[in-house]
Amino acid sequence: MAIRTHNLDFTQGFLHWRVSREGEVRFDIDEKEKALRVAFDKGTWSITHKSLIPVKMGELYELSAEVRCRFANRDSVPHPNHASIAAEMLDGELKPVQVRFEKWSFGDPGEPFMLTNVGDWKCSEINLCGISDWRNVFSFFKIPGETRFMRLSLSGRGSGEFLARNLGIGSKIVKAPPNGRAHARSAPGARTCKKIALGDYAAKVIRIGDLDGEGRPEYVFAQNEIVGSTSFEDYRQISCLTAIDDGGQILWQVGDPEIENYNVTSDLPVAVLDINGDGNDEVVCCMNFKLQIREGITGKVLRSAATPQSKRGGGFIIGHETLFSHILGDCITFCDLKGSGRNGNIILKDRYNYLWSYTSDLEQLWSYSGKLAHSPLVWDFDDDGRDEVFAGDALLDDDGKVLWRLDLFDHCDSAVFYKQGGRPILCIANQNGGFYFLDATTGEITREWHLGHAQVLSLGNYDADAGSRLICAQTYWGGINQFLFNLNGDIIFTGFEEVYGWVPVNWTGDGSELLAAPKGLFDCYGNMIVEFPDPSIKGRWGAKVYAWDICGDVRDEVLVWDEKHLTIYTQADEIKGRIYKPHRRLYNQTFYGNIISEPGWNED
């Protein structure tokens, strides 16, 4: 139901609005386009509606508009070119409402940390940049607690031209999913398989792999230390690597362990995989400005090369990453660029501006500069037997050639790929820019949702009765929420003001997947399906989770760890016969999602 608010269409000029600017900014009404037009050059501006709309906690609203953007340059720091449309939430004293909790009591978020204050509420923001013709945009949100009034505004900064028309705000009704459950038909209970006491080497970053080739996973912990800071970002270096076996015995250690170096706020450059094809997993990492391949069982350096020289790049998000002459490394991803059938290539990146590809001999192949994702998504997008690389703002062919490029507000936190009706689709969580569904062949936007700080995505068979896989999505800064998309890009479930989990878990083996959290397993509709016995969740920095087939019966176990313990939960029953076995690239571990579960069975 639309809310009656005066002159949202600007047919009366700027009556009922208040306009402000700094720098070169001009406002007018484009009679031909029947739209508000703002032209600006290194300026900052805002247009705020004078009406305060009374609202009640828990009400659902949709904010919509038709927009056209012509921004001069790509979004970068310190002067990003963009425009925003938003509904600001105000308390009884007309102050911005903040998102705060007494304690973190939710599931696992798509961030390395669990805060009790995630800032001013911003889930209504529609943030836009780049160049686009007229398109419809909208946000969908729930009125948070302490809110008494809602106020509409448009704003922008930088250089460019922005047009908007048909601005609207109205209440929204969303249908609940049938029965509100994902029908995990026979979810067994959980028992503690192992509880490993950790030493002063414990770390929030853990990597899993078969280091000795005996078929059982071992664990590598990576601690870090801040070695430099700028006004935008801390520079982190791996300070200690420790490998332990499944009994908790230390296999090897490099560096000096220090429990104060447990915590981290981003990925670190360490990954585990059999990179050289010898049957044992190696540890690939960056330490002291060296890209290294270490023998999994001993930690011995097998190959080493200097990390790439730092370059200015576009200065995206945090500015130019040139504090040191060589990069420290941010994330390592394995892929197959040569069509060998083996993941023998390495993608190494800095935080936001540059990535480089390597062979398993650490020979550099090519590089790319752009507005990077936290973790590149690697997949064979075009079925040519070789992986392509979605870098965050561009799809790169196996030889590094840019296939297409897009310019969205902010940067990509997470992405998943699938095919729908034969059409390749890329879904991305572009942080404060929103959730987008793209034609993966062209980069064309087919759907977009502005729901808050788009944080994490995973694709799994979360509801066996849904008829297809579903996309789990979360927001974080400015409002934690959980959403569920179908493959058409429709929202089919909303979990406002809470998150459950995003790591898919093949717990039942019957073809459905659950979501991992430190206390147990949720279905995709927010129902706790399996509770963990005596969960270890009292750590100083919170507990994190991951899924892996530890016991070897095809089904996943769930790993929950903090600075004190690594606990592995398994099913309380045994299973035989045909068992669900989804294909995933779990070795490309990241805090930021990117997990794609492709259906499969143990007979495949």
Burial of 423 (0-12, 13-18, 19+ CB in 10 A): exposed
What pLDDT, on a 0 to 100 scale, did the predictor assign at position 261? Answer: 97
Q: What is the pTM of this model?
A: 0.95
Task: Give Cα 172 to chain centroid, integer Å.
Answer: 27
Asked whether the predicted pLDDT for residue 1 surpasses 60, the reply is no
Average pLDDT over residues 548-556: 95
Report how far apart the first and last C-alpha atoms of the chain are (Å, whole number): 51
Asked whether the predicted pLDDT for residue 176 surpasses 80, the reply is no
Cis peptide upstream of residue 78 (ω within 30 degrees of 0): yes
Say which CATH class 17-171 falls into.
Answer: mainly beta
For residues 96 and 76, the answer to whether their CB atoms sit within 8 Å is no
> What letter would DSSP give residue 259?
G
**How sure is the predictor about 104, in pLDDT bands with cuts at 50, 70 and 90?**
confident
What pLDDT, on a 0 to 100 scale, did the predictor assign at position 77? Answer: 59
What pLDDT, on a 0 to 100 scale, did the predictor assign at position 90? Answer: 98
What pLDDT, on a 0 to 100 scale, did the predictor assign at position 185? Answer: 60
Average pLDDT of the chain is: 93
Asked whether the predicted pLDDT for residue 271 surpasses 90, the reply is yes
Choose the weakest-confidence range: 73-82, 119-128, 314-323, 335-344: 73-82
What pLDDT, on a 0 to 100 scale, did the predictor assign at position 274? Answer: 97
CA distance 225 to 238: 6
**How sure is the predictor about 535, in pLDDT bands with cuts at 50, 70 and 90?**
confident
What pLDDT, on a 0 to 100 scale, did the predictor assign at position 3? Answer: 62
Average pLDDT over residues 425-435: 96
What pLDDT, on a 0 to 100 scale, did the predictor assign at position 263? Answer: 95
Burial of 73 (0-12, 13-18, 19+ CB in 10 A): middle
What residues contact residue 271 under an 8 Å CB cut-off, 6+ apart?
207, 283, 284, 285, 332, 333, 334, 587, 588, 589
In single-letter form, the type of residue at position 496 comes to F
Domain boundaries, the chain: 17-171, 176-200+411-604, 205-261+268-373+375-400
CA distance 429 to 314: 21
What stretch of H or E contains 596? strand 595-596
Choose the weakest-confidence range: 240-249, 310-319, 366-375: 310-319
Q: Tell me: the pLDDT tens digits for 203-247?
A: 999 999 999 999 999 999 999 999 998 766 789 999 999 999 999
Asked whether the predicted pLDDT for residue 76 surpasses 70, the reply is no
Q: Which tops the pLDDT comparison, 230 or 248?
A: 248
Q: Tell me: the pLDDT tens digits for 135-175?
A: 999 999 999 999 999 999 999 999 999 999 999 999 876 55
CA distance 307 to 356: 10
Asked whether the predicted pLDDT for residue 49 surpasses 90, the reply is yes
Average pLDDT over residues 60-73: 93
> What letter would DSSP give residue 94?
S
**How sure is the predictor about 315, in pLDDT bands with cuts at 50, 70 and 90?**
confident
What pLDDT, on a 0 to 100 scale, did the predictor assign at position 312? Answer: 85
Closest CA to 538 of 509, 517, 503, 564: 564
- Exposure letters 305-330 (e unless 16+ CB within 10 A, then b): eebbebeebbbbbbbbbbeeeebbbb
CA distance 140 to 144: 13
What residues contact residue 567 under an 8 Å CB cut-off, 6+ apart?
192, 194, 195, 196, 532, 535, 536, 559, 560, 561
Asked whether the predicted pLDDT for residue 105 surpasses 90, the reply is no
Asked whether the predicted pLDDT for residue 178 surpasses 60, the reply is no
CA distance 221 to 240: 8
Q: Tell me: the pLDDT tens digits for 3-48?
A: 667 889 899 999 999 999 999 999 999 999 999 999 999 999 999 9
Average pLDDT over residues 369-389: 96
What pLDDT, on a 0 to 100 scale, did the predictor assign at position 124? Answer: 97
Q: Which tops the pLDDT comparison, 77 or 375?
A: 375
